[in-house]
Amino acid sequence: MPAYHRLGEIPPKRHTQFRQPDGSLYAEEVFGTEGFAGNYSILYYRYPPTRVTKIAKYADLHYEEWDPGVQRHLHLKTKPLLEGGDPIFGRQVLMFNKDVALGVVRPNEQMSYFYRNGECDEVYFIHDGHGVVETNFGLLPYHEGDYIIIPRGTTYRFQLASDSAENRFLTIEARGTIEPPHRYVNKNGQLLEHAPYCERDLRRPEELASHSEHGEFEVRLKVGERVTSYWYDYHPCNVVGWDGYEYPWIFNIADFEPITGRVHQPPPVHQTFQGPNFVVCSFVPRKLDYHPLSIAVPYNHSNIDSDEMIYYVNGNFGSRRGIERSSITLHPRGIPHGPQPGVVEKSLGAERTEELAVMVDTFYPLKLTVAAHQHDDSAYPMSWLD
């Protein structure tokens, strides 16, 4: 839900004649969410986005579930994840529920096709790598630390940079809108003074790659578990201009301004986005609590109504033992968790933390996949003993 943006050529009035140099009309598309009641943009194409030459089933995706048999904490070591595939179909979904699917991918293949998630907003957190996301709204160059937010319905593909030796992403696929937390936004949609970031920190498409090539262009459309290949006779990124409130955008985790206090601040201060029945939080390097008797690491806590997934990005994560880069912990509802032995005493007097992590808290239980089982550190639930 970023602010109004416009790019390229658009006519002064919507739904009026807008002609190409050869006198023919550009094809207008209203691209909106929540029927016609939500945010929308209006795009102008050289060739109508309806020119389909062929349709075929590509695949039915299904997450194979893994049931650990008990309710317990999990530590998934995803650092050894093998490289493979492209950013879309190379991903390993580790946990999911009706609202969201969380995965990891180390892509090493370029996309020969475009992708459109017809149902879910997507976030890619770029742990490693750089390149460009080519979309029908324009180009989005990305680099390490970026959260790339792609609204459902966007046509896009990743172009991994040729000198990007390591590509590692955390993926969040959500059945609904991903946006800044509502409490940080005023009634006109502007980010408020107490928000940990503002409009200047958001990156929007600034360059259109307005193609006109004729040929065979595949767009893989995902709706539900079904992926369908659509072929178009013109390059799908043939937009000459657009404006509106609905488009892909980027926020870098380094631009999150931490909110700190004299005593320990609860997780909502780290909240970065909200989605349908989940939140995304960023734990970033910051000054620690400065009350003379403060305890810098979190207290034991019971997240009774949510499952808490943390992806560890960089730095030493203060309250956890045995956690490595790209580790994922899942602290599910119903069981308390907290700092491990010795950590509290060790933290006293510390003034800074260099931790960097992404947390997703879901309000409905997450199910695990067999891919998660591969990374499971089964000793983790007992790691709170001396």
Of the ranges 159-167, 303-311, 361-369, 375-383, which one interacts with Fe ion (CB under 5 A)? 303-311
Min CB(130)–Fe ion separation in Å: 31
Min CB(284)–Fe ion separation in Å: 16
CA 290 remoteness from chain centre: 33
Of the ranges 14-22, 158-166, 218-226, 305-313, which one interacts with Fe ion (CB under 5 A)? 305-313
Neighbours of 223 (CB within 10 A): 13
Residue 166, φ and ψ in degrees, nearest 5: -125, 125
Min CB(371)–Fe ion separation in Å: 23
Q: Who's near 193: CB < 8 A, 6+ residues apart?
A: none
Specify the residue, 126 or 356, whose C-beta has the smaller distance to Fe ion.
Answer: 356
Rounded CA-CA distance 43/246 in Å is 11
Buried b (16+ CB within 10 A) or exposed e, 69-82: eeeebbbbbbeebe
Rounded CA-CA distance 25/17 in Å is 7
Radius of gyration of the CA atoms of the chain, in A: 22
Residues 127/170, Cβ–Cβ less than 8 Å: yes
Specify the residue, 227 or 309, whose C-beta has the smaller distance to Fe ion.
Answer: 309
335 φ/ψ sector (left φ>0, alpha ψ -120 to 50, else beta):
beta
Of the ranges 2-10, 220-228, 237-245, 304-312, which one interacts with Fe ion (CB under 5 A)? 304-312
Of the ranges 20-28, 184-192, 301-309, 363-371, which one interacts with Fe ion (CB under 5 A)? 301-309
Min CB(301)–Fe ion separation in Å: 6
Specify the residue, 134 or 308, whose C-beta has the smaller distance to Fe ion.
Answer: 308
Residue with nearest beta carbon to Fe ion: 308
Rounded CA-CA distance 262/259 in Å is 11
Min CB(253)–Fe ion separation in Å: 19
Of the ranges 1-9, 140-148, 231-239, 302-310, which one interacts with Fe ion (CB under 5 A)? 302-310
Residues 47/27, Cβ–Cβ less than 8 Å: yes
Of the ranges 195-203, 230-238, 242-250, 300-308, which one interacts with Fe ion (CB under 5 A)? 300-308
Rounded CA-CA distance 356/286 in Å is 10
Specify the residue, 42 or 94, whose C-beta has the smaller distance to Fe ion.
Answer: 94
Q: By CB under 5 A, how many residues form the interface with Fe ion?
A: 1
Min CB(298)–Fe ion separation in Å: 6
Min CB(9)–Fe ion separation in Å: 49
Tokens 């293949």 — which residue? Answer: 109
Min CB(368)–Fe ion separation in Å: 18
Tell me which residues in 307-346 interact with Fe ion (CB under 5 A). 308
Rounded CA-CA distance 245/371 in Å is 37
Buried b (16+ CB within 10 A) or exposed e, 304-335: eebbbbbbbbbeebbbbeebebbbbbbbbbee
Specify the residue, 220 or 331, whose C-beta has the smaller distance to Fe ion.
Answer: 331
Specify the residue, 224 or 268, whose C-beta has the smaller distance to Fe ion.
Answer: 268
The interface mask with Fe ion, positions 257-296, x = CB under 5 A, is ----------------------------------------
Which residues contribute to the site for Fe ion (CB under 5 A)? Answer: 308
